[in-house]
Amino acid sequence: MPDILESIHLLKTGTQEPSLLSRLKESFGDAADFKTLHAGEAGSESVYLCFLASLCSTQKLELLLGSPISGGISATLGRYSGTSLGEADVLGCEKAICNGSAILCTTASHNGIIFDLSETKQRGIDTPITESVLQGPMYAFNENLDANTALIRQQIRSPKLKMWETKVGSMSQTRVAIFSYFGAADPGLLAKLQERLQNIKTDGIQDSGQLLRLLITRKKMSLFPLAISSERPDRSTADLLLGKMIIMVDGSPFALTVPAVYTDFWHSPEDSYVNPYVTYFLLALRFLAMFMNLFLPALYIALTSVNVDVNRLEISLAASASREGVPYPVFIETFLMLIIIDFITEAGIRLPKTISSTVTMVGGVVLGQAIIQANIVSNLLVIIVAATAITNFIVIDYQMGLVQRILKYFIAIGATVAGLLGIIFCFTCLVFYLSCLESFGAPYLTSLFKKGAPTS
Amino acid sequence: MKAKTPAALTGYDMFAIQILYFGASAGFIYPSLLIRSTDGAYWIPLAVWSAIALLSCLLYGKLLSLLENGGLVERLSSSIGLPAAVLVCLPQLIFIFGALVIMLRAYSEMITMTMLPTTPVSFLNGMLLAPGALALAGMMPIARAARVLFLISSILSLCLMLMGFSDVDWSLGGPWLRSSGDFLIDKHFYAGSFIWMGFVFPALIGNYNPQISRRFRNSYISALVVAFPMIAGFIYLPVMTFGRELSRHLTLPFISKMDAVYHYWIVFENLTALFVSVTMLYVLLVMALKIHALSESLKTLFPRAKAVWIYGTVVVLVYAAASKLPSWRAVESMIYYTIGLRMYALFIFPLLAMAAVFVAGRKKKVAS
């Protein structure tokens, strides 16, 4: 194509500085995937194409450098007629190469022509892994920001859906986007988020969870998650319509919803798709599970060691009988079992699926049976610990589930020190702590039922 | 944590706080005081105190409506000058301090008597740290915590109250209508004044105008209406179980009543433990409110002092004073000694403050 050829002839040459080609070779010297290929001759100068083979599309490269056709370089470049081209100096060319583009330059030129040959590596749209539902959309975000944007746009086909984008990370240059629904979202919060994102100083980010840690100052860091991390487009778009904001990071399949209040973590996306009465029942079930998860081991400690008289005599006798022969105090016995069950849970999550079922079987059944027979713990405690583990999996949000796992130890310590009163004291401390928390300007303790956008 | 500028509470927030106040103060010492105060019908002194509290609440309501979006102590200070404001506020602040000490020690004593007999009271008094931290966080966190605790504790209290109706003999509750007015000359009647003063603490916190003042007044009236049967239950249930004479000699009549409840279908045998546990929810929140009211008033009167130091000093002093009290009898004596301070807080303080605000307003008008 005469335009590109003309551009090649017009590239800057003639100064004392080293040429672009030599500078690029120097910059990407130790990168095995950096290629410089001879594309042809333009007058007396050789033309080279520089690119990172790992980021460029092989199809597009094939088109540019594949089988030679008659007419030389002019005919080859003619295949690119109509595509947008850019021109840049050394820094611009380096950046473009890192983004997957190829640079066309001559041996003496000090700048180059940028060809967009990039190809995004991504997996397909899959089903959600951490938020599975039985009814509702079955697709999830993936690691590509553009694909995720499309998924959101497909759910909200309105010009009121706004998207603001920036790059975070001096080295990684990761794209980060904030989605908001105009008219519902709080503009003050949006401005605050934009400011915070622009002020982040880091080399690079890999996941939205990491971004959340950078968004929240160390002073305001809390044990509880302050944003919902979701891989479901339906959940994110529903939150957008409620006036919340979605933050997405290129390379992460999890969208962050802000602000998030405590009760948001107990709503499943499925709640909106089933009968409302069933939703209320499920909500009640989840809260019951939360209380059981927090209090069951602690109650066991309190009622069998500190407040023995609170229980009915029959139950106290049964508990004492089951503890007969156990050499440890109740709290050691309980903490031992809680830690073992957490080991098993962690092993089950980290191991490949084929092995994890075996570990669960060995841990749950074999170890449980053996530990009772060895008189290390009581039968009753095994039931309690099993129930505690099951109720932990009812927690909708993974991050909140992790917090619950920690908190049960805190409440159990309270029970060890002061029995029932210790449990109540620890619970009250938790309520006090939660009431002091704010998620991006919204109080963490607000209504159970979703009403609208919480304002900052 | 940093103390924040208090925002206006909603009516529901104030209602929840007032109910929690009644729950924290009416369940343990108050029944014995009221039972000892009269030979006639118990509901009559209750109704008299409700009317007195209502009158005082209306007085406060009127005072708060004059504040033009300002704080009470702040306005007082700007109206009559700092030294005079300190003088007017001093009895009020001593009253709150005393109320904090009594509440902490009485509750710790109650725990020692019922659930943890071997645990040192000084260790139990350490529970003050949690309300101290909440108080430092500000009024809005207190209100948010109050909403949650109200939801949980009201359900549990209602269940306990309903279970308290087992084994009652209604004839023991009489006389139902007759009263000679003997309670009016009995010190126990006046000693029980502390349970009716829940509105005094929020009045010292935050900014008020006629609209917020109306909300403040209405929420207290609603809370009073809702809490009246609860308070009556705390008094009548033990009386209808043990009779007047025996109840008169009990230190904690409602606790004894809870101890006497037995049903085969109740999982827990010892309802006292449950009652004491539920009361903890009320007590911790109310102590946070009192610490906040006291510290915020001090902060206004001594603006140069750092908030953290004021809150810290208040917590340490309350802890030390509560630990220093030698026995339950000393707690009871303190209740009698502080009757005058409570009367000051109920009537004299709002009247003085109203006069100060009124005179300052007139002077300003004349000057302009």
Question: What is the predicted ipTM?
Answer: 0.92
Element housing A255 (H / E): strand A255-258
Dist. CA A360–CA A381, nearest whole Å: 18
Q: Which pLDDT value is given to residue B341?
A: 92
Dist. CA B182–CA B60, nearest whole Å: 29
Q: Which pLDDT value is given to residue A239?
A: 92
Pick from A49, A236, A24: nearest CA to A148: A236
Residue indicated by tokens 């008597």:
B113
Pick from A161, A150, A123, A128: nearest CA to A232: A128
**A178 vs B4, which has greater pLDDT?**
A178
Contacts of B308 (CB under 8 A, 6+ apart): B136
Contact at CB, B115 and A419, closer than 8 angstroms:
yes
User: Which stretches of chain B score pLDDT less than 50?
Assistant: 1-6
Q: Is the pLDDT of residue A371 over 90?
A: no
Q: Which residues of A touch B285 (CB under 8 A)?
A: 428
Q: Which pLDDT value is given to residue B5?
A: 44
Q: Which pLDDT value is given to residue A339?
A: 92
Q: Which residues of B touch A418 (CB under 8 A)?
A: 116, 119
Q: Which pLDDT value is given to residue B175?
A: 84
CA distance A307 to chain B (A): 7
Contact at CB, A429 and B277, closer than 8 angstroms:
no
Within 283-342 of B, beta carbons closer than 8 Å to A belong to 284-285, 288
Q: Is the pLDDT of residue A27 over 70?
A: yes
Q: CA–CA distance from A249 to each of A167, A202, A215, A233, A355 (Å)?
A: 9, 14, 13, 14, 32
Q: Which pLDDT value is given to residue A293?
A: 93
Closest chain A residue to the Cα of B4, Cα to Cα: A436
pLDDT digits (tens, 9 = 90+) for A101-124: 888 888 888 888 888 888 877 888
Name the residue among A312, A419, A431 with its Cβ closest to that of B149. Answer: A431
Question: What number of residues does chain B have?
Answer: 368
CA distance A422 to chain B (A): 9
- The answer to whether B141 contacts chain A (CB < 8 Å) is yes
Q: Which pLDDT value is given to residue B260?
A: 86
Q: Which residues of A touch B116 (CB under 8 A)?
A: 306, 418-419, 421
Give residue A434's pLDDT band: very low, low, confident or very high (50, 70, 90). Answer: very high
Contact at CB, A428 and B140, closer than 8 angstroms:
no
Q: What separation, in Å, do the N-terminal and C-terminal C-alpha atoms of chain A show?
A: 57
Q: Which pLDDT value is given to residue B82?
A: 87
Q: Which pLDDT value is given to residue A117?
A: 81
Q: Which residues of B touch A420 (CB under 8 A)?
A: 115, 273-274, 277
**pLDDT > 70 in chain A, percent:** 92
Q: Is the pLDDT of residue A357 over 80?
A: no
Q: Which pLDDT value is given to residue A193?
A: 92
Dist. CA A112–CA A93, nearest whole Å: 7
Please state the rounded mean pLDDT for residues A5-21.
76
User: Can you say whether the dihedral through the CA atoms of B92, B96, B98, B103 is positive or negative?
Assistant: positive
Contact at CB, A435 and B144, closer than 8 angstroms:
yes
Question: Side-chain half-sphere of B45: how many Cα atoms within 13 Å?
Answer: 31
Q: Residue A297, preceding bond cis, omega within 30 degrees?
A: no
CB B248 within 8 A of CB B36: yes
Give residue A299's pLDDT band: very low, low, confident or very high (50, 70, 90). Answer: very high
Give residue A429's pLDDT band: very low, low, confident or very high (50, 70, 90). Answer: very high
pLDDT digits (tens, 9 = 90+) for A333-349: 999 989 988 888 888 87
Which of B284, B289, B311 to mutate against chain A (most A CBs within 10 Å)?
Answer: B284
Q: Which pLDDT value is given to residue A314?
A: 81
Q: Which residues of A touch B267 (CB under 8 A)?
A: 311-312, 315
Q: Which pLDDT value is given to residue B81?
A: 86
Under an 8 Å CB criterion, which residues of A touch B? 306-307, 309-313, 315, 418-421, 423-425, 428-429, 431-432, 434-436, 443, 445
CB A428 within 8 A of CB B284: yes
Element housing A175 (H / E): strand A174-181
- The answer to whether B151 contacts chain A (CB < 8 Å) is no
Contact at CB, A310 and B288, closer than 8 angstroms:
no
Q: Which residues of B touch A435 (CB under 8 A)?
A: 134, 137, 141-142, 144-145, 148
Name the residue among A312, A420, A443 with its Cβ closest to that of B273. Answer: A420
Contact at CB, B119 and A425, closer than 8 angstroms:
no
- Region of poorest pLDDT, from A58-62, A110-114, A182-186: A58-62
DSSP string, A57-99: -HHHHHHHHSS--TTHHHHHHHTTTTS--EEE-HHHHHHHHHT
Closest chain A residue to the Cα of B110, Cα to Cα: A421
Closest chain B residue to the Cα of A431, Cα to Cα: B145
User: What global pTM score does this model have?
Assistant: 0.87
Q: Which pLDDT value is given to residue A220?
A: 65
- The answer to whether B147 contacts chain A (CB < 8 Å) is yes
Phi, psi angles (nearest 5°) of residue A255: -95, 140
Contact at CB, A431 and B145, closer than 8 angstroms:
yes
Give residue A69's pLDDT band: very low, low, confident or very high (50, 70, 90). Answer: low
Contact at CB, A428 and B280, closer than 8 angstroms:
yes
